[in-house]
Structures are given as structure tokens and as C-alpha cells.
Amino acid sequence: MANIKSSIKRIRTTERQTTENKSRKSAMKTACRKANAAIVAKDEKAEELFKEATIALDQAANRNIIHKNAAARKKSQLAKAFNSMA
């Protein structure tokens, strides 16, 4: 356990940020999974879910939850699957 006051505060903020980032990352993954499932099933909601997944990936990249290149790669994969569906 840290003895310095600022270190104790940093531990608390890091724990708070970690839980927020985990929930955001989980929401992003869920959006991607839903979009993928809709694309595979050729569902009518595929376009809407694709847009939501793209937004979730962009937000995760902007908040440094995932790397911007990883977000671009995942968006590209989703777009490729979505375009092949139509």
C-alpha cells in the first residue's frame, strides 16, 4: 500500500478509470457482436447495428480504450461483411 497521499489518490482514480474502461470496452464488444450477428443473419436491423458498432469503436479509440488502428481494422472488417451482405 502506498504511503504518499498523491499515490493513494492515484490508486483510487486508477481503479475508477479501470472499471469505467472495462464497462465501455464490454459495451463496444457487445455492439460489434450484435452487428456481426445481424450481418450474418442478413437482418433488417443490420445497418442500424453496424452504425452503432462503428460509433462505439470510434468512441473507444478516442478514449484510448483500444488503439486507433485496432478500431480502424475492426470497422473495416465490419464494413466488408456489411457490404458483402447487400
Mean pLDDT of 13-26: 98
- Model confidence band, residue 86 (pLDDT cutoffs 50, 70, 90): low
Q: What is the pLDDT of residues 42-78, one digit of tens each?
A: 999 999 999 999 999 999 999 999 999 999 999 999 9
Measured in whole angstroms, how far is the alpha carbon of residue 17 from the centre of its chain?
A: 15
Other Cβ atoms closer than 10 A to 74: 20
pLDDT in the model for residue 1: 79
Mean pLDDT of 17-33: 98
